[in-house]
């Protein structure tokens, strides 16, 4: 059995390119049978492929002398194999008291942090873990009982990137019985963790109680779960790639969130809509553990609704979905635009309005620039008909404009609404106002008929929009 197992692991490592020739690899070694088998297999292959192995062990100080003996055993094993070894003694119980985390979560956080430190010390590109097929089966059952989706059924990934290294699990298709047989044939010693028999841990109850009970209905139950995991990993990878492509295609990244067209989101398959929301939240560094299925569905439906056209829905404190006509925004912060007012000198000049993100330029010129056709990004005024001082400011309640080419006046607010200008941009759109309070120009949108340039005009004050924010 030994030669076939070694060959199976070697073939899988090579085919999947888990470890490149000459790589430095940190091997997480608890001292138990699984990690001892992994270290020994990698050691036997290391000379052929030029791998540099580093054994790393964490003494969590949960079991007193037993934990100390395991640390000593790992150090002795590494020494026999001629491998460098790093051992950390971490007071995890104190960390639990400080953070209120459960024991397994706290131990994992400290263990992974140490392994990353060792990888950095040795310039290792990979950290190898000894999780096997039975661990995978237990993980899937645990997730089913707690509630999971398709991605959860994929189980633990064989490889994933974390920080600057890749975490690999070369034994994820090998069963515990195969590892124990390998150790017995090689007469390799290992430690037994007494806490693995304690049923206060959820995984132990699954391992000792639930799995044997389920095997009574299917004696190949772990193998069936392993196949399920393998199939779901492939499908999960496909869906992830599809979601990433959708993100690149329809999502615009903003400083405080993301934007997309509601119609583009609605055109996606339901499954892809959910994946895309997860991807957006990941981009926004939002803690995914705070988003359950009900919250995800509420968010998805809020993004799909067409009425009312403009709405702001708070999903959680600090997380908001905003609908503005055909646009959907997912924001992690919302700050109401600040009001602004800047008095302008008559003459040439340029002004950047930080509250709005606009840049407006103006110049004195002759009437020859007048084409007779007003432009949204340009406004020309007869200087002699202007009443100063001129001010560029944000809109105010009650503002009205007498639009060029029309009789009477209209509320600026109504013009924004009729033009379906998104609410988030209305307060950031500058208005040019004269000394009498008349709105002369809605920058980049519409000018008024006041101080219009005619054939009798001698001097023109020309305004142009040189930069406007993405609307």
Binding site for ATP: which residues?
Answer: 30-35
Provide φ and ψ at 67, rounded to 5°.
-65, -40
Q: Radius of gyration over alpha carbons of the chain, in Å? A: 33
Instruction: Please count the other Cβ atoms lying within 10 Å of the Cβ belonging to residue 37.
Output: 26
Structure tokens at 411: 């509320």
Nearest CA to 422 among 274, 313, 252, 259? 259
CB 360 within 8 A of CB 443: yes
CB 279 within 8 A of CB 247: yes
* Dist CA 35 CA 42 (whole Å): 11
Residues sharing a CB contact under 8 Å with residue 4, sequence separation 6 or more, in sequence order: none
Q: Where are the beta strands (DSSP E) in 277-383?
A: 310-316, 319-324, 327-331, 341-344, 349-353, 358-365, 378-382
Q: In the beta sheet, which residues pair with residue 26? A: 54, 127
* Dist CA 186 CA 188 (whole Å): 5
The DSSP symbol for 209 reads I
Strand, coil or helix: 128: strand
Residue in the structure block whose two tokens are 């799995």: 211
């Amino acid at each position: 059995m030994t030669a076939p197992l070694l060959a199976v692991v070697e073939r899988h490592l090579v085919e999947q390119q888990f470890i490149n020739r000459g790589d430095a690899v940190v091997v997480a070694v608890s001292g138990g049978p699984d990690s001892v088998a992994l270290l020994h297999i990698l050691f036997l292959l290391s000379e052929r492929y030029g791998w540099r192995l580093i054994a790393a062990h964490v003494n969590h100080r949960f079991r007193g002398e037993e934990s100390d003996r395991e640390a000593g055993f790992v150090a002795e094993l590494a020494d026999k194999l001629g491998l460098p070894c790093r051992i950390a003694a971490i007071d995890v119980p104190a960390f639990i008291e400080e953070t209120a985390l459960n024991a397994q979560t706290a131990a994992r956080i400290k263990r992974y942090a140490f392994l990353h430190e060792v990888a950095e010390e040795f310039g290792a590109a990979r950290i190898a873990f000894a999780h096997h097929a039975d661990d995978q089966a237990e993980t899937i059952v645990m997730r089913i009982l707690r509630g999971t989706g398709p991605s959860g059924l994929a189980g633990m990934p064989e490889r994933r990137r974390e920080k600057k290294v890749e975490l690999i699990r070369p034994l994820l298709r090998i069963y515990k019985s195969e590892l124990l047989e390998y150790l017995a044939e090689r007469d390799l010693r290992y430690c037994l963790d007494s806490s693995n028999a304690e049923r206060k841990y959820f995984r132990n109850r699954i391992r000792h109680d639930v799995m044997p009970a389920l095997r009574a209905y299917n004696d190949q139950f772990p193998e069936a779960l392993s196949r399920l995991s393998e199939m779901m990993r492939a499908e999960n990878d496909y869906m992830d790639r599809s979601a990433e492509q959708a993100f690149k295609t329809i999502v615009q990244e903003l400083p405080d969130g993301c934007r997309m067209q509601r119609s583009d989101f609605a055109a996606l398959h339901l499954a892809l809509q959910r994946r895309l929301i997860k991807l957006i939240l990941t981009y926004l560094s939002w803690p995914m553990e705070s988003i359950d299925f009900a919250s995800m569905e509420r968010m998805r439906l809020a993004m799909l609704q067409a009425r009312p056209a403009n709405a702001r829905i708070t999903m959680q404190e600090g997380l908001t979905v905003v609908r503005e006509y055909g646009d959907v925004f997912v924001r992690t912060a919302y700050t109401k635009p600040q009001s602004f007012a800047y008095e302008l000198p008559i003459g040439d000049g340029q002004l950047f309005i930080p509250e709005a993100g606009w840049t407006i330029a103006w110049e004195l010129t002759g009437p020859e620039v007048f084409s007779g056709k007003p432009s949204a990004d340009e406004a020309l005024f007869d200087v002699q008909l202007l009443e100063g001082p001129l001010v560029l400011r944000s809109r105010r309640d009650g503002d009205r404009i007498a639009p060029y080419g029309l009789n009477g006046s209209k509320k600026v607010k109504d013009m924004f609404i009729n033009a379906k200008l998104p609410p988030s941009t209305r307060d950031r759109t500058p208005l040019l106002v004269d000394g009498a309070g008349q709105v002369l120009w809605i920058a980049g949108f519409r000018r008024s008929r006041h101080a219009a340039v005619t054939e009798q005009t001698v001097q023109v004050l020309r305004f142009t929009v040189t930069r406007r924010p993405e609307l």
